Each structure stands twice: as structure tokens, then as C-alpha cells.
Amino acid sequence: MTGKTLRVGVIGCGFFARNHLAAWADMEGVTLAGVCDLDPAKAASAASDFRAERAYADAAEMLDTAKLDFVDIATQMDSHAFLVGLAVDRGIPTIVQKPLAPTWEASVAIVEKARAAGVPLMVHENTRFQTPVRRAREVLDSGRIGTLNWARVSFRTGHDIYGKQPYLADAENFVLLDLGVHMLDVARYLMGEVESLYCQTRTVKQGIRGEDMATTMLRHEGGATSIVECSYASPIHPDPFPEMTLHIEGSKGSISLTPPYRMSVFADGRAESIDVEPAMFDWSEKPWHGAQESVARIQRHWVDCMRAGRTPETSGADSLKTYGLVFGAYRSARFGQPVVPFDREPANG
């Protein structure tokens, strides 16, 4: 596959999918062969805006006719099992947007279907690809702050997220599955796998169905502790949205990430300030450029892995470890006690 121009089809042309489309249209060595949406007008508009070869209103038709090397599914999670199934049944490598599925069982079924068919599957879990998170990983790998002891991974905001995504107000499982999956994945990526967790949730905003605030404490392999905070109901001034904050303590130093994209590394008795501002593209805009850059990064990672025959970082199998934390957190909040992640015990009971 080295040197070949790869043909991608994108299913879903909604709010966040436009970042996927822009990144594919901007990527060398990739052709946007088709775009698909249940709304034909939305698909036609996306095809025009991002120079796709053709617009479709039927996913099966695009998969059967567009001669794709892979497909990017950027729809809401309730459709993922069906759409991944369509692609896997045709042997088409697949990227699927997060959240992967509304339940642990459905998440496992999606990953297992692709595994059994031998079809590459990657979950579009892009937050770990953001510049600040990658730089933090580089510092940890250097050993500058020593053995990891404690961390806080936090995303708290009062920003009106419902304006562009009104369906979120109707989600039964809300902040942990929509936002917490990102923050829990970052905690895994930076601090290591998790042995046990304890979570508390609250519903603060009136008129929504699910929880909009969650705090989860994780015990990592090796003994380190992390606190993962997720809130869409925090009246903060100045509001850090859409940036996360991060603090990590080791035996020899610490790392802190604060808006606007500043990282402080304290090691060897000295503090260093690092600019971790994400890159801008012709199609990106502030303040969304952090997420937009990470979309381009994870999509490039997928292409590089396809060309090299490597398993992507956020493969289906790896992502189940994160979803084991998400659904484990829901169990913990429900029963009010610590639990082990779902990938360490049966989901029933």
C-alpha cells in the first residue's frame, strides 16, 4: 500500500464530521472518494465543500460502489454497530467516531466482529493526539519527573454545548460517555492501565436526561492515583473551554498544563515553561484548533499504520480498555462503591 493514493469514504456529514472531512481533503496521498448522509442535501453540500467525488444518501451503496480503501464513520453512536457491520462484512478497514457504543456489550460486539473478520478497526479517540498531551507523554518518557505518583485530568466548563449538539440533552448516559471517555483515555495514556476506580456523578442542569458532572478516582498499575474530572455544569470565569487542564506529580518533579496552552515542567529544582499551542491549518479556527489539529493527527496516524501494516494506537481492542473504565465508572456511581474496569471482569452482575 506504500505510495498508493488511498480512497476514503466518510459516513456522516454533521457538526463534528466536518473536521474529519476537512482533514481528509487536506491530506496528501488520500482522496475523498465519497461522502454519505441520510440527509441528501447535507451530503451534497459536504461533497461540494470538501471536493468529494460523489455524495450518497445510502451507506451500503457507497461501500459497494466507491472502491474504498477504508471508511470513516462519523455518526452518532446508536448507528455504529450497524454501519461498522456493513463495512466489516465487505472487508473494508474502518475508523469509527467515539463514543463507540451506548453499552459495554455493544462496544465489545463491534470490536469482536471486526476482529473475527480480520478487518482493521480504529476508534477516533483523538484527544490523546492533542499537542499538549503528546508533549506531556514526551516529558514522562524522558524520566525527568521520575516515578509517577498522582495526577488530575480535568475538563470543566459552563459553555453551552447543547446549542450545536441538542441531542446531548436526551442522552441517558451523558458526560462520562461523551466527555469522560476522552479524559479517562488521557489518564490511561499518561498514567498507565487501571486496577480499580470509584466514581460519583450528578445531574445539575435542569431539563437534561443524563449526568452532566462526574468525578472518578483511578488506581493505576504501579500504585499511582489519578482524579478525572468531567463537567458541563461549571460556571467558571474565565471559562477554559475548550481546553483541558492537567497536573501530574512524580518522585522528582511535576507537569502542569493550563490555558492558554501553557505547560510548566518542574524538574531538577528548575521550572520550565513550554508553549504547547496546537498548529493552525487553512481550515481550522480558534478556539477549536486544538481538537481540529488532533483530528488531523489521528487520521494521519491511521494512514501511516495502514501503509506500514501496523495496528493503530486506538485500535478497537485498545479502546475497549478505555470503555471498560467508562462503563465501570457508571457501575461505581450506581452502586456507590469501588469497582474494577469492565475489561477485568464480566459485565453482568
Strands 70-73 and 6-11: parallel
What's residue 239's pLDDT? 96
Residue 177: CB atoms within 10 Å: 25
**What gap in Å lies between CA 111 and CA 315, rounded to an integer?**
9
Judge if 333 and 302 occupy the same domain.
no
Report the domain count for the chain: 2
The answer to whether residue 81 is domain-embedded is: yes
Is 151 inside a domain boundary? yes
Distance CA(150)–CA(304), nearest Å, equals: 33
- Cell numbers describing residue 11: 459516513
- pLDDT digits over 304-319, tens only? 999 999 999 999 999 9
> For residues 257 and 273, what is the distance between their CA atoms, to the nearest angstrom?
10
Domain-located, residue 288: no
What kind and span of H or E run contains 294?
Answer: helix 289-308
Considering the domain architecture, whether residues 178 and 272 belong to the same structural domain is answered as: yes
Q: Note whether 147 and 20 are same-domain residues.
A: no
Residue 148's domain is classified under what CATH number? 3.30.360.10
Which one-letter amino acid corresponds to residue 188? R
Q: What pLDDT digit, counting tens, does each position of 174-226 carry?
A: 999 999 999 999 999 999 999 999 999 999 999 999 999 999 999 999 999 99
The C-alpha atoms of residue 276 and residue 129 are separated, in whole angstroms, by 12
Same-domain pairing of 85 and 217: no
Q: Which H helix or E strand runs over 81?
A: helix 80-89
If you search the block for the grid coordinates 478487518, which residue do you land on?
119
Query: What pLDDT was estimated at residue 114?
Result: 98
* Residues 62 and 192 occupy one common structural domain: no
| Pair (67, 212) in one structural domain | no
CATH number at 302 reads 3.40.50.720
Judgement on whether residues 23 and 88 belong to the same structural domain of the protein? yes
Residues 88 and 188 in one domain: no
pLDDT score, position 3:
73
* pLDDT score of 344: 54
Buried b (16+ CB within 10 A) or exposed e, 180-195: bbbbbbbbbbbbbebe
Give the separation between CA 346 and CA 336, rounded to whole angstroms.
19
Domain that holds residue 149: 128-277+322-342
Same domain, 196 and 330: yes
The segments of the chain whose pLDDT lies below 50 read 346-349
Residues 82 and 192 in one domain: no
In a shared domain, residues 57 and 134: no
